[in-house]
Amino acid sequence: ETGVTQTPRHLVMGMTNKKSLKCEQHLGHNAMYWYKQSAKKPLELMFVYSLEERVENNSVPSRFSPECPNSSHLFLHLHTLQPEDSALYLCASSQSPYRVGNQPQHFGDGTRLSIL
């Protein structure tokens, strides 16, 4: 039990489908993150939210749309994805991203996404 729960664990979708990934943290943290982990590549930061406000967007294509309705929940809405978007999508949380760098991030186990 990591304190960060992601659903679904696996998702297969066509390029024209619309789906959403969900992340929930039970740690009382104020910052949440989306990362992408492609095969044989390091984790890449996609989005950062602090107190439900987006503070970082690492040039992610608009077919990925994040939403943070409150400090415990984070969504990643997907539409018109490409085969190269197949990857493990990881959610993480931390106390706050703006403090000094002594705050660990806590990760969920990810959603394995496959685009047909």
Partner 1 sequence: DAKTTQPNSMESNEEEPVHLPCNHSTISGTDYIHWYRQLPSQGPEYVIHGLTSNVNNRMASLAIAEDRKSSTLILHRATLRDAAVYYCILNGGGADGLTFGKGTHLIIQP
Neighbours of 65 (CB within 10 A): 15
- Positive or negative, the Cα torsion across 32, 101, 108, 111? positive
101 binds partner 1 (CB under 8 A): yes
Q: Are 26 and 3 in contact (CB under 8 A)?
A: yes
Q: Are 12 and 114 in contact (CB under 8 A)?
A: yes
Question: Among residue numbers 3 through 62, which ones bind partner 1 (CB under 8 A)?
Answer: 4, 6, 33, 35, 42-43, 45, 48, 50, 55-56
Q: Mark the segment that binds partner 1 (CB under 8 A) among 11-19, 69-77, 79-87, 103-111.
A: 103-111
What are the residues binding partner 1 (CB under 8 A)?
Answer: 2, 4, 6, 33, 35, 42-43, 45, 48, 50, 55-56, 90, 92, 97-110
